[in-house]
Amino acid sequence: MKALRLAFLAALAGPCAAAASPAGDIAGTWECRQPGIEYRNKPPILYVAETGGEQSQVTIEVDGFAREIYGRSEIAADQGGWWKVKPAQGQEFMIRPDASAKQRTPAMGLRFADSKSEYRCLRLPPSGVPSAVIPLAPADEQSAPPPVIDLGAPPEPAQSEGDAPKKE
């Protein structure tokens, strides 16, 4: 009877834990960097897509990390706000979404079990969405046509004696 009660409580806790999964919050493309490392071409990228099924699953792919990680991944809560990600292919890793209200760009931490340092990842804007454009002039001046500068007539090219046409 006691085992049946524990099984029932575990069954109830399962959906609640899945509902608290950050799967929807982490969907997108993330640029990840480690402090003190200079990335010449491009930093590592983490791609996360919702599977459309269970809330505790996402599809993961990485680019630029020194590992091969991809496929449908299980997400489970861990200690200290971290979430354990177990991909279909590759090494498990941990993520911790940063829900700080002070940031304009969503961020999260990412770490591997064999690594001493963690990556700081920022979500990139979706493709096709223009990034913020900062106007160079105030809005009322932007509608006016640009000023025209008259430089006068172009100067006549000077001919040197060597350039003169030869008469025969």
| The two three-digit tokens of residue 45, written as one number | 């990228």
Count: domains in the chain: 1
pTM over 0.85: no
Token match 């979706």: residue? 126
Determine the structural domain holding residue 37 and report its residue range.
2-123
Residue 131 lies in a domain: no
Q: What is the pLDDT of residues 42-60, one digit of tens each?
A: 899 999 998 877 778 899 9
CATH number of the CATH domain containing 89: 2.40.128
Contact yes or no for 60/84 (Cβ under 8 A) = no
Distance CA 77, CA 56 (A): 10
Q: Report the alpha-carbon distance of residue 152 to residue 136 in Å, rounded.
A: 28
- Within-domain flag for 45: yes
CA atoms within 13 A on the CB side of 79: 0
Instruction: Give the pair of three-digit tokens for residue 127.
Output: 């493709």
Opening angle at CA 62, ends 56 and 63, nearest 5: 165
34-40, long-range: CB < 8 A, 24+ apart: 34/117, 34/118, 34/119, 34/120, 35/117, 35/120
pLDDT 10s digits, 88-133 = 999 999 999 887 767 788 999 999 988 888 999 999 988 765 555 4
